Structure 1
Amino acid sequence: MAATPTWPRVLWAAGAVLLVAMVVHVVALVLLGGPVGGPVSLRKPATFAETGWLLCWSVAVVLPALRTRACQRHVVGATVLAFGIGETAIIAVQAWRDVPSHYNFTTPLDAALMRGGAAGTAAVFVVGMVVLLVATLRTPAPPALRLGVAGGVGVLLAGCAVGLVMISTNSGVYRGGIGSGFGRTGAYFGPDPATVGPDLAGFRPATAGGDLVLPHAVGVHGLLLLAVPAVLLAGTAWRNRRAPLAAMVGAVGLALAVLLVHAFRTLPLDALGAPALGVLAACALAYLGALAVTARALLADRDRRPGDDRTHI
């Protein structure tokens, strides 16, 4: 009798499907042409598929490192699967229909996909991440591992909160207020090109307000940035694991805070001053340095066991 697939195995498979979906949409964008930026683009499903496969694989790495009950694994696995596959599918349907996927309530179908689909799967996903955070804090694991995984989940939840602000205002450009977009229907309510400014494949340096897309993008990759290195480092013989992980958590958290403060001051990215740019550069260097330490620990651990069979990954 075949063994019942575990959630990590399911998430590895789902991530592979999303990786293929990303490649397919990138190829389609190149072959068919069309805009790379703007509210209607095949780049959008490619971007969501990228987020989805990295998320699925990150959770597949993290779950086995935690002590979880079966119900917790089911909640985390199911919500990640629903979010990764569901969000990408909805964005792809709208892109191939040649209509905006975000802030679009023009028809009942558009409204259902936006509210019940995209926003609904995101809300369910948040529940799964809260369960993952609780499991992390209750796991009797080395402090460095808990720091990295909890930090990653915390950054991810911050990214989800930014996404909620974006949904509540029907815009990734913050111009003050929260909740003004709730209850509206019958049209596309997303920001106009003048508000967004030049869209360089998703990077928008000259918005007429604060750009929330960049901190949202950083946040939703929190597990990859922090939790995955923590799990990998925990499997090595490296003695001082806490220092590089603390550096990573501090760097990502501080960089995210700088971007959010700037955005909520309704300032565009090209208005970042020299002090803020200096802090962001220092955060990037600190993170990359800690990542290099992690890579060194992994290589040293591999070299320490020359008799191991390395044909399997």
Structure 2
Amino acid sequence: MTRVLMKHARPVERLCLTTGALLILTGLVHLVVFAVAGGPWYGPVSWRKPVTFGLSFGATLIAVTWVTSYLRVGDRPRTVLLAVFAADCVVEVGGITVQTWRRVPSHLDMETPFDTAVSMTLAVGGGVLVVLLTAFAVASFRHRPAGSTGMALAVRSGFAILLVALASGAAMIARGVVLVRTGHQEAAYHSTAPLKPLHAVSLHAVLVLPALAWLLSRTSWSETARLRTVAVAVGCYAVAVGGAGVWAVLTY
């Protein structure tokens, strides 16, 4: 799919797809570093963070670049939004990676002026992500997305579920900052744990559901069968998100 995208991509799309691939590569490189250097996988200071953030941001950037091609958005606004989104993804992964190599937490760390600057930059960057992705989500519901049978449902559902990921991410940062400001640094690091499964599950619906619709369009199935399959997949994904949400509420 990536090769097909590159073949017909506009300059900003090529930039975003290349950047996404490089972010995924950084995640894989840090997975090798973890295998060699060892250390804890969980906790505020671990190689898990550059691995998971590199892979997640890279995959999300590629997914959003592809999926927004189905939206009825002007070329200039989409170009600007995608360029800012790509830059923000690099800033987020870069800040997390730098702090991991420094062996200090990347988020909610206010120990030194530099740590505070990085933490606040990541928080602001998260806010920018919310604005950009919400704009794309709104666009998907204002006008019916183009594409094969089931793609409109997949794109709209993917963006709707992505909003859950944004909300849960914002909630983690907000609660953590409150705890840090009130002198509960360790509690701040642990406060994000209940929401992490919800955030992780809902983050990649914007890739999984449209990818399913695209794959189904390559089959000989009838339009009715393809649409029903996408609808079932959306329902299953919603159940998974709901389950992660219930778990978060019960353990928060």
TM class by smaller structure: 0.7 to 0.9
Gaps of 5+ in 2: 1-8
1:229 to 212, 217, 220: 212
Tell me which residue corresponds to 2:72.
67
C-alpha distance 259-41 of structure 1, shift in aligned 2 (>3 A): same
For the pair 1:219 / 2:202, whether they are aligned, the reply is: yes
Task: Indicate the SS of the match to 1:265.
Answer: helix
Q: Specify the code of the residue in structure 2 equivalent to 1:36.
A: W
Q: Contact 1:59 / 1:223 at 8 angstroms: preserved in 2?
A: yes
- Counterpart of 2:5 in structure 1 is none
CA gap 1:237/1:47 in 2 versus in 1, 3 angstroms? same
Bigger Rg, which one: 1
| 1:123-202 alignment runs, 5 A limit | 123-137=127-141, 138-139=143-144, 141=146, 144-170=150-176, 180-181=178-179, 184=181, 189-191=185-187
> Deviation at 1:61?
2.3
TM-score normalised by structure 1 residue count: 0.69
Partner of 1:204: none
Q: 1:210 to 1:97 in 2, by over 3 A?
A: closer
The alignment partner of 1:52 has SS state of helix
Question: Which AA in structure 2 matches 1:166?
Answer: M
Question: CA separation in 2, counterparts of 1:190 and 1:253?
Answer: 33
Deviation beyond 6 Å, 4+ runs, structure 1 = none
Aligned amino acid, residue 165 of structure 1: A
Counterpart position of 1:54: 59
Name the SS for the 2:178 alignment partner: coil
Residue 34 of structure 2 is aligned with which of 21, 29, 32?
29
* AA matched with 2:187: P
TM-score, normalised by the number of residues in structure 2: 0.84
Whole-Å Cα distance in 2 between the matches of residues 129 and 192 of structure 1? 26
Percent of matched pairs sharing the same residue:
33
Cα deviation, 1:99-121, whole Å, max 9, x if unaligned, reads 01122111122122112x21111
CA contact 2:28–2:55 (8 Å) conserved in 1: no
Between the aligned partners of 2:245 and 2:207, the Cα distance in structure 1 is: 20
Give the 3 Å change call, closer, same or farther, for CA 135–111 of structure 1 in structure 2. same
Q: Distance in 1 between matches of 2:195 and 2:79?
A: 31
